[in-house]
Structure 1
Amino acid sequence: MEKPVTILAIKKLLTTITDPADERLAQIMNDSRKGVVKAYHTWENQLKKQQLILEKQQEMLQIEHYFWEKGTQYIAGIDEVGRGPLAGPVVAAAVILPIDFAVLGINDSKQLSSTKRELLFDQIKESAIAIGIGIKNHQVVDEVNIYQATKLAMIEAVQQLPQQPEQLLIDAMHLPTSIPQESFIKGDAKSLSIAAASIIAKVTRDRMMADYDEVYPGYGFSENAGYGTKVHLEGLEKHGVCPIHRKTFAPVKKMLQ
């Protein structure tokens, strides 16, 4: 291979190399131009970062592999979002991933930017075997309490799966179902299926709250998703309680008294 003449050409070439044993790298490493040295170090750092992502992916698939290796094919990870907000629904998602699932960068949804969550949301929907979503609105939360509403949302998410799961992996909850289940504290950091469910639930709920922001402006729902931020609390003081507020949650309850 002829040595690329320009630094730009070398940068373009590096974008096509993914194997550190690629023989073309030897010529690039011997090029002493500052721009080439910098480009190589950038490529090397990106490769290391990619390797860490791959290692994290395999680490978060250990639970799934345990069941896959036992012959359990359809494993549903389940998570929820929206237990703490003062307004809006609690949303749960159940996600069944295939054994060859290859979407990288999945993590606990709280650890990701909104842009990254949106991207992964689409990729998960495209690659998953099945996705189910359960939604319990503010009225249900007030009627049965947030813990029970969360359970109901999770059960609904499982029921909405187009593929019957053989095993459930749940983030810190036990569900009244005959399907075998395992519960994990901080499961969205331990299981890729649960982490994928957390992203589906989070994006689904955020989009709902953005829509509610147009219907009930003044509380910042599109930015705070109903959590008790300064803007939200100021909106409560100025506009009072709106129809999607949880009336059993302080400070909403205090305002109504």
Structure 2
Amino acid sequence: MQIQPSTKNLAQIIDVSTDHIDVKGQYIQLAAPIRLYGQLNTSKLFAQYERDEAQRLEQSILKIGVDEAGRGPLLGSVNVAAAILPASWSGLIEEQPLKDTPLSILTDSKKLSEKKRDILYPLVKVHALGYIIADIPAAVIDQVNILQATMLGMRLCTEALLDAALTCLVTKNNENTLLKQLQIEVLFDGNRCPDLSHATFHELGISPSSVDCQAWVKGDARHTSIAAASILAKVSRDETMYALDMQYPEYGIAKHKGYPTRAHMEAIERHGVLSAHRRSFAPVRKALES
């Protein structure tokens, strides 16, 4: 993993691509590379977890929220994001842990206007202790199906963010006491959790039993950490749609964002299927057959 320090804001940039994945010991070559990018706010991360022994025992839970955007469209990537908010900001939305913070309007991205999402996007990046975004391209979606592509993105985001965060914490503390005390909660939006790699936990020096994976149905409307991830996933995916719209203005992508609207289907009929279309999705498959 490429982690580059930034002297301006004591952040570490995460930027890595992978073209293969290990699933329970089986090596799978991906149809296209998956890119993961994000950063750690190392100064805030250290401040939260560099405490004396008594405080560590009471406050040693690292919560990661994970969400996706773009499962339904016929075009482009599905984007997955993971975010670590400051501990005092991470909790049930109904209990208002974000009141009087820069993220006070944060909730499920689907309930917010595009203008509000665009306001929150850089704020989440600035105030999160760490975040990561994965772009799972259409070729991988066609290779493994949309559900497995989403689960793969959730797994990769979780493992990469844990790798970066725990490596930094151990390097700073120069000992393993923190890892023995740290409890990790990973909150996934939806009704299932991905299968995380135990080999990754072993490499990080943590026990799989210290990682509590939880599936939260409609979690982006219930928990602030998941809501933060939903903003990152949604806005980053919209950005890829706007970039495609610049390349192919005749498809009207900026308006339909790849969803199977009437205008989108008519554009496919007139102009054909793009390389970014998901060929495993029935409307695209039928268009190719005809």
TM-score (ref. length: structure 2): 0.62
Of 150, 172, 185, the match for 1:167: 185
Of 237, 240, 250, the match for 1:208: 240
Aligned: 1:110 with 2:110: yes
**Residue number in structure 1 paired with 2:131:** 131
Kindly tell me: are residues 220 and 70 of structure 1, through their superposed partners in 2, closer, same or farther at Cα, counting changes over 3 Å? Answer: farther
**Which protein has greater RCO, CA pairs closer than 8 Å, 6+ apart?**
2
**Residue number in structure 2 paired with 1:246:** 278
Q: Tell me the secondary structure at the aligned position of residue 203 of structure 1.
A: helix
Aligned Cα RMSD in Å? 1.8
Query: Structure 1 residue runs of 4+, over 6 Å off?
Result: none
The structure whose residues are more often strand, as a share, is: 2
**Residue number in structure 2 paired with 1:231:** 263
Range with bigger deviation, 247-256 or 140-149: 247-256
Q: Return the offset for 1:80.
A: 0.3
Gaps of 5+ in 1: 1-67
Higher Rg of the two aligned structures? 1
Query: 2: distance between equivalents of 1:217 and 1:235?
Result: 10
Q: Return the offset for 1:99.
A: 2.2
Query: 2: distance between equivalents of 1:70 and 1:193?
Result: 20
Q: Return the offset for 1:69.
A: 10
Kindly tell me: are residues 168 and 224 of structure 1, through their superposed partners in 2, closer, same or farther at Cα, counting changes over 3 Å? Answer: same
| Contact kept? 1:77, 1:194, Cα under 8 Å | yes
Q: Return the offset for 1:133.
A: 1.1
Query: 2: distance between equivalents of 1:176 and 1:187?
Result: 19
Q: Tell me the secondary structure at the aligned position of residue 251 of structure 1.
A: helix
Q: Tell me the secondary structure at the aligned position of residue 166 of structure 1.
A: strand
Q: Return the offset for 1:235.
A: 0.7
Render the CA deviation track for 1:200-255: whole Å, top value 9, x for unaligned.
Answer: 00000000111011122222222221111122111111101011000011211111
Q: Tell me the secondary structure at the aligned position of residue 122 of structure 1.
A: helix
Query: 2: distance between equivalents of 1:127 and 1:110?
Result: 21
TM-score (ref. length: structure 1): 0.70
**Residue number in structure 2 paired with 1:78:** 66
Aligned: 1:94 with 2:82: yes
Aligned: 1:199 with 2:231: yes
**Residue number in structure 2 paired with 1:176:** 195
**Residue number in structure 2 paired with 1:11:** none
Render the CA deviation track for 1:2-55: whole Å, top value 9, x for unaligned.
Answer: xxxxxxxxxxxxxxxxxxxxxxxxxxxxxxxxxxxxxxxxxxxxxxxxxxxxxx
Gaps of 5+ in 2: 1-55, 90-100, 167-182, 197-207
Render the CA deviation track for 1:136-192: whole Å, top value 9, x for unaligned.
Answer: 100000010000000111112223323248210001131112432111111111111
Over the matched positions of the two proteins, sequence identity in percent amounts to 41
Range with bigger deviation, 155-164 or 238-247: 155-164
Kindly tell me: are residues 75 and 254 of structure 1, through their superposed partners in 2, closer, same or farther at Cα, counting changes over 3 Å? Answer: same
Q: Return the offset for 1:74.
A: 1.7
**Residue number in structure 2 paired with 1:219:** 251
